[in-house]
């Protein structure tokens, strides 16, 4: 891996009264990544983001930002390079987008001209001229999410952490947020995005980490993930075990399983050839279908311990 590490954890653990919200997580995010952090509600995603931001302290283990360990005095300088939106977007609904940015810049002690602030508004996909007289309270959820992103950009961060940024968005909101993240990523911003909406993460992420009950189950590049989501043929027949043996032998199938009267084959076989073979053997087929295994299928199997690492 030639890219420089942006965020790494080393057996990072956070416990609350004996309960491990984050359990010995070792993960790696590199410069230029859009890292998707996937897990069910309560998996520990928000806790880990809070640890990365220094909002809470670890019980054990360590983490590093831009190669500097959190135990070093220099970590304070590295934390200035990150920004985060945790759980909800903090905007004043009674103010315009520009006034929100002015207020947040003042609070943070950041000096930026109105021209620079309007440029930030445009950078996240909001037209500053079109919305200059509108209050944030009249914005759609997606617009408020993007305004929150503009606020996060005030400090010119190199690393942005977004906690469930797709929550509650309509289809157009998904598209707008996705395009905004990709646009900023091309400008050199690295992202950690927690979500349980796998279909959306698949469209923007370079790498994905799967978290469950505080443990990191695996992390993969998006190409590796796609390799693990396979084409699947489902066949419903009587005597499924016997028919499965015939199919495996004839087509040299490497992976299949029998579930009741269903044979599941993981292979890029031609469904017509499979059907022709079954007919030639006078096997009555009650149902046959071909589908691509989704990332959701992979995640479910990973959660159930069915995925071979």
Kindly indicate the confidence band of residue 170, based on its pLDDT and cuts at 50, 70 and 90: confident
Using a pLDDT cut of 70, give the percent of the chain over it. 98
Helix (H, G, I), strand (E, B) or coil at 226: helix
C-alpha–C-alpha distance, residues 41 and 46, integer Å: 9
pLDDT at 39: 86
Burial label, 195 (beta-carbon count in 10 A; 0-12, 13-18, 19+)? buried
CB distance 145 to 173 below 8 Å? yes
Domain 230-292: CATH superfamily, name plus number? YebC, transcriptional regulation domain (3.30.70.980)
Percent of the chain that is helix, strand, coil (3-state, to 5): 40, 30, 35
Sorted by where each begins, the domain ranges of the chain are: 5-227, 230-292
Q: What's the pTM? A: 0.77
The CATH number of domain 5-227, selected from 3.40.50.300, 3.30.1490.190, 2.40.50.140, 3.30.2310.20:
3.40.50.300
Instruction: Check for a shared fold between 5-227 and 230-292.
Output: no
pLDDT at 307: 58
Q: Is the pLDDT of residue 190 over 70?
A: yes
Q: Is the pLDDT of residue 176 over 80?
A: yes
Q: What are the tens digits of pLDDT across the range 44-71?
A: 999 999 999 989 999 999 999 999 999 9
Kindly indicate the confidence band of residue 146, based on its pLDDT and cuts at 50, 70 and 90: confident
């Amino acid at each position: 891996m030639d890219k420089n590490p942006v965020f790494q954890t080393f057996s990072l653990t956070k416990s609350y009264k004996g309960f491990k919200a984050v359990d010995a997580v070792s993960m790696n995010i590199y410069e230029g990544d859009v890292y998707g952090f996937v897990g069910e509600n309560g998996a520990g995603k928000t806790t880990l983001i809070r640890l990365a931001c220094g909002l809470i302290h670890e019980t054990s283990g360590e983490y590093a930002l831009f190669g500097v360990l959190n135990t070093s005095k220099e970590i304070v300088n590295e934390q200035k390079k990150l920004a985060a939106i945790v759980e909800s977007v903090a905007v004043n609904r009674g103010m315009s987008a520009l006034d929100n940015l002015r207020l947040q810049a003042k609070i943070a002690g950041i000096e930026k001209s109105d021209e620079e602030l309007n440029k930030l508004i445009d950078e996240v996909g909001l037209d500053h001229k079109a919305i200059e007289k509108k209050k944030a309270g009249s914005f759609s959820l997606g617009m408020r999410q993007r305004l929150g992103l503009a606020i996060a950009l005030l400090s010119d961060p190199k690393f942005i952490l977004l906690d469930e940024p797709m929550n509650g968005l309509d289809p157009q909101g998904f598209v707008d947020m996705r395009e905004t993240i990709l646009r900023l990523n091309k400008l050199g911003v690295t992202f950690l995005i927690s979500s349980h909406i796998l279909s959306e993460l698949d469209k923007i992420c370079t790498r994905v980490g799967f978290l469950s009950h505080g443990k990191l189950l695996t992390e993969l590049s998006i190409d590796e993930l796609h390799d693990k989501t396979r084409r699947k043929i489902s066949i419903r027949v009587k005597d499924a075990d016997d028919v499965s043996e015939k199919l495996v032998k004839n087509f040299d199938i490497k992976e299949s399983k029998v579930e009741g009267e269903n044979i599941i084959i993981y292979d890029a076989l031609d469904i017509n050839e499979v059907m022709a073979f079954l007919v030639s053997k006078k096997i009555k087929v009650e149902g046959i279908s071909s589908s691509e295994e989704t990332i959701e299928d992979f995640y479910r199997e990973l959660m159930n311990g069915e995925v071979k690492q």
